[in-house]
Structure 1
Amino acid sequence: MQEKKIETIKRVYFIGIGGIGMSALARYFHSKGIAVSGYDKTETALTKALVNEGIPVHYEDNPERAPRDADWIVFTPAIPADHQELNNYKTGGYPVMKRSEVLQKITESSFNICVAGTHGKTTTTTMIAHLLRDSGYGCNAFLGGISANYDTNFWSSEKDVCVIEADEYDRSFLKLSPDIAVVTAIDPDHLDIYGSAEQVRQAFADFAQRLKRGGLLIRKLGIGRELKAERMWQYSLQNDSANIYAANIKIQDGGYVFDVVLPAQLIEGLQLNMGGMHNIENMVAAIAVAGSLNIDPEKIRTAVASFKGVKRRFEYIIKEKNLVFIDDYAHHPEELKALINSVKTLFPQKKCTLIFQPHLYSRTKDFAQDFAAVLSTVNRTVLLPVYPAREQPIPGVESNTIAELMEGADPVLMTKEALLKWVEDDFSKNREQEFGEVIITAGAGDIDKMVAPVKDRLLNRK
């Protein structure tokens, strides 16, 4: 079957439609009036939202339920090799492609702002898209998280500008052609794909080379010296040797007030209403993009103040004097370190309990020592079983692999089921009353499903 051009397709079918990146693409095609449907393994809040928006989703791998008149089949690499629907389409000669290939086709003729990084990219992408939308500049947004402002990971605009989260997993970001490329971090990750830290760095260098002629590279100061471009800005939290940086940072009500120094101007009195010093740094990168597009500083200031964050990125679930509950997607040691440091800065007198669900056996194995070191810096750690995602178990690798390396700490290992009883009894009855306590849930697996029941138990036992 000959592949149809994007302008002529009438029906697109998604295998793995509930993924954060896949659902953004599904919403894109749906917004264009194209018939969209899909399969996923389990029903989630995201698949329910898609159904409510008019996109049918089923949860059974059944070729009989898959449309035969689909013009494009889009699948996620997380789908197993023996998936019947996917294999039926492949043997039937249908145009089958990965999400990254579809993004490439969508963005071939648009002005693209692509945000890459082993962490920080989802928040930074969402910040940029919000600044452009709120200021009236306009953009199409393809996000790797749910924007709290708009309760979605996609929105469209008549303006031919795309803000895209550029995912390094499976080298997907090498399909994109940025006009502006932002790089937030290059820590070793996805070593099951890349094999070594050097190969990760090389992939990011290759991404920078994808910039269109005359394009702008905005990279964090001190990372990726092999990332080069004719036009390059560097940003930093507050190092004045960067082109763009924050100054005069003050903590205010769990958020911050600060100034941003740009190459040709100073924007004073910015107010960011979310926690985490790393989020000031992410916003500095977003303001750098807005500044490069000559967006009015007053509109930037207004947009920063109205930014509500990204769900599961330093998200306040409970914020009271004696009890703070934060949920975060952190699943890499560097992300956990930034999360913990931010909590200690914002709430220096409060005890901190962190409930962590390791994500992937390979990542647990590769970074066990680093996880142990950073988790040992909180008052109390609870470790849930490893969330396998796309992987098969690795013999001898489990949450206890981290626990055994946590010298001087006394981590608690328990199942998700046991966790709820522990929160209701042990934690709630024995928590710090005088200065209060911060409890954090962190991880990229299905720990997000625990947030609502944990919140209920905390509020019922105050």
Structure 2
Amino acid sequence: MNINKIDFLYFLGIGGIGMSSLARYFHIMGKTVSGHDKNETFLTKKLESEGISINYHDNVKIIPEWIKSNKCLIVYTPAIPKDYKQWIFLKKYGKNIKKRSQLLSLITENSICIAIGGTHGKTTTCSLLGHILYVSGKNFTAFIGGISENYKSNLILNGNKFFLVEADEFDRSFLHLSPNIACITSIDQDHVDVYPKKEFLEKAYINFSNRIKKPYKKIFICEEESFTVKNAIYYSVKKKVHYYADNVTIKNNKWYFDFHTPKKIFKYLPLPIPGIHNLKNTTAALAISDYLNINEKKIRKALYLFKGIERRYSIHYKSEKKIYIDDYAHHPTEINALINTVRKCFPNKTILGIFQPHLFSRTKFFEESFAKSLGNLDSLILLDIYQAREYKNFDINSITLLKKVKIIQKNKEISSISKVLETLDKKCFDIILTIGAGNIDTLIIPIKEWLCKKYGKT
């Protein structure tokens, strides 16, 4: 399929973070872009403000007539329910229909593609690498799985010689890509609805690694993952491999480290986002940058200028009395990493976590692990499970999860998302964490405003 001959694009699920970056890309390219999402969000409002038309009702009468054209491409997310009216209509009348991952493959197939894969760390690694490429003046476009604070977008557009993308393992989407350079940040079991056994996930990653092509044909792998691929380039924060970071120091809540390449050492670099897990992600981005011959001066400048990614250790309020941090963590490993980082940055502080589990299947599969990770908080407000694309409850709910969390009874409770501020008013804390991948982000502004009103503006 020649996407240059496409004049119209309709995105079913346009509010998704991956879909919206593609919608932005084609809108900027001068195509007519429209789409549907079931909910109006900050992101869909932003897309509309940029000139993209979006509808929010599952009604076929509001679909543009041009979707029946041979010059129209319909892009869909696999999370769309099979009985969705718009989806049934589009399958019947649409001439060209592609998954988001298939479209990403079409965009990148004739350029150098860098793909960042892994259960955890994809977005941080991709965002930082995209920022380094931009600061160094590279000709590239990046599709990011989060909103970069530097660019206020999930799209960085600076040419088309290179394409930087995230390789999403959900629904085996990344097997549509054939990158020239790839990175695997972690292989921790997740998406259990797709990979009920870890060996299924590992097999998918092996298949992904086999799709890497010339020129370059290089794959970077985190040494800590114990995942072996022939001719891989390894990076680490524990071992002296091809690329590694060490000598971590913390001064005034700011982290610094040394970065070792096969030929030299970059001394005392700033870590833009704190945490050992983010040191791994940064080491991955720096390893690829060094491989692409980006010099130390530009790398150092990019690190100092990097502002982070929305919902990745995002500090929204900080005064002498209280701190509020929001994070996308939705897996037990990610929650552990977040809490450990907060403990290191703010020792002896009382942490209150507000957690929204994401997916019944994930919550059920990792129920014991979630309970253990959440037990590292001092107090917990647990929200209802965000069902997302699922309809069955897998015999799990927030009440059963809360019972397993080993926090004293008076310091843990269930709350609806609408009653969170009321619940917060009765709590003792130094730090608030909002944690999760559903619609918990709708609490960010209300909590920030509540803190400002109660404890003063920062």
- For residue 208 of structure 1, report the CA deviation from its aligned partner: 0.9
CA contact (8 A) 2:364 2:394 kept: no
- For residue 242 of structure 1, report the CA deviation from its aligned partner: 2.2
Q: Find the counterpart in structure 2 of residue 141 from structure 1.
A: 142
Q: Find the counterpart in structure 2 of residue 223 from structure 1.
A: 225
Q: Find the counterpart in structure 2 of residue 38 from structure 1.
A: 35
- Per the alignment, in what secondary structure is the counterpart of residue 267 of structure 1? strand
Q: Find the counterpart in structure 1 of residue 2 from structure 2.
A: 5
**TM-score scaled by structure 1?**
0.94
Letter in 1 for 2:219: L
Residue 264 in structure 1 maps to residue 256 in structure 2: no
CA distance in 1, matches of 2:94, 2:6: 16
Give the stretch that moved more between structures: 35-44 or 392-401: 392-401
CA distance in 1, matches of 2:11, 2:432: 37
- Per the alignment, in what secondary structure is the counterpart of residue 200 of structure 2? helix
Root-mean-square deviation (Å): 1.4
CA contact (8 A) 2:3 2:106 kept: yes
Q: Find the counterpart in structure 2 of residue 461 from structure 1.
A: 454
CA distance in 2, matches of 1:229, 1:109: 25
- For residue 218 of structure 1, report the CA deviation from its aligned partner: 0.6
**TM-score scaled by structure 2?**
0.95
Q: Find the counterpart in structure 2 of residue 452 from structure 1.
A: 445
CA distance in 1, matches of 2:109, 2:405: 48
Residue 52 in structure 1 maps to residue 46 in structure 2: no
- For residue 93 of structure 1, report the CA deviation from its aligned partner: 4.7
- Per the alignment, in what secondary structure is the counterpart of residue 298 of structure 2? helix
Q: Find the counterpart in structure 2 of residue 19 from structure 1.
A: 16
CA distance in 2, matches of 1:7, 1:418: 49
Q: Find the counterpart in structure 2 of residue 323 from structure 1.
A: 322
CA distance in 2, matches of 1:199, 1:409: 38
- Aligned pairs (5 A) from 1:229-244: 229-230=230-231, 232-237=232-237, 239-244=238-243
CA distance in 2, matches of 1:129, 1:37: 27
- For residue 236 of structure 1, report the CA deviation from its aligned partner: 1.4
CA distance in 1, matches of 2:254, 2:240: 25
Q: 2:435 aligns with which of 422, 431, 442?
A: 442
CA change 1:139–1:273 in 2 (3 A) is same
CA contact (8 A) 1:138 1:157 kept: yes
CA contact (8 A) 1:186 1:224 kept: no
- Aligned pairs (5 A) from 1:409-424: 409-410=408-409, 411-423=412-424
- Per the alignment, in what secondary structure is the counterpart of residue 4 of structure 2? coil
- For residue 224 of structure 1, report the CA deviation from its aligned partner: 4.5
- Per the alignment, in what secondary structure is the counterpart of residue 461 of structure 1? helix
Q: Find the counterpart in structure 2 of residue 72 from structure 1.
A: 73
- For residue 240 of structure 1, report the CA deviation from its aligned partner: 3.2
CA change 1:11–1:224 in 2 (3 A) is farther
- For residue 86 of structure 1, report the CA deviation from its aligned partner: 1.9
Letter in 2 for 1:461: K
Letter in 1 for 2:334: E
CA distance in 1, matches of 2:28, 2:290: 29
Letter in 2 for 1:450: L
Residue 212 in structure 1 maps to residue 209 in structure 2: no
CA distance in 2, matches of 1:186, 1:265: 29
- Aligned pairs (5 A) from 1:271-420: 271-394=270-393, 396-407=395-406, 409-410=408-409, 411-420=412-421
Letter in 2 for 1:151: K
Letter in 2 for 1:448: D
Q: Find the counterpart in structure 2 of residue 434 from structure 1.
A: none
CA contact (8 A) 1:362 1:394 kept: yes
CA distance in 2, matches of 1:76, 1:159: 25
CA distance in 2, matches of 1:167, 1:401: 30
Residue 63 in structure 1 maps to residue 60 in structure 2: yes
CA change 1:443–1:331 in 2 (3 A) is same
CA distance in 1, matches of 2:14, 2:218: 33
CA contact (8 A) 1:361 1:397 kept: yes
- For residue 253 of structure 1, report the CA deviation from its aligned partner: 3.4
Letter in 1 for 2:82: A
- For residue 90 of structure 1, report the CA deviation from its aligned partner: 1.2
**Structure 1 residue runs of 4 or more that deviate by more than 4 Å after TM superposition:** none
Deviations 1:394-451 (A, max 9, x none): 253101222122235432111112211122x212xx44xxxxx111000000000011
- Per the alignment, in what secondary structure is the counterpart of residue 193 of structure 2? helix
- For residue 458 of structure 1, report the CA deviation from its aligned partner: 1.6
CA distance in 1, matches of 2:96, 2:139: 32
CA distance in 2, matches of 1:89, 1:48: 24
CA distance in 2, matches of 1:159, 1:76: 25
Q: Find the counterpart in structure 1 of residue 120 from structure 2.
A: 119
- Per the alignment, in what secondary structure is the counterpart of residue 348 of structure 1? coil
CA change 1:409–1:236 in 2 (3 A) is farther
CA distance in 2, matches of 1:60, 1:272: 44
Deviations 1:266-318 (A, max 9, x none): 11221134332221221111000100000011000000111111000011111
- For residue 365 of structure 1, report the CA deviation from its aligned partner: 0.4
- For residue 255 of structure 1, report the CA deviation from its aligned partner: 2.5
Q: Find the counterpart in structure 2 of residue 89 from structure 1.
A: 90
CA distance in 1, matches of 2:354, 2:140: 37
CA contact (8 A) 1:205 1:224 kept: no
Deviations 1:123-150 (A, max 9, x none): 1110111110111123201010000111
Letter in 1 for 2:117: A
CA distance in 1, matches of 2:159, 2:130: 14
Q: Find the counterpart in structure 2 of residue 191 from structure 1.
A: 192
CA distance in 2, matches of 1:372, 1:330: 14
Unmatched 5+ residue regions in structure 2?
none
CA change 1:444–1:141 in 2 (3 A) is same
- For residue 388 of structure 1, report the CA deviation from its aligned partner: 0.4
- Identity value in percent: 41
CA contact (8 A) 1:31 1:156 kept: no
Unmatched 5+ residue regions in structure 1?
432-436
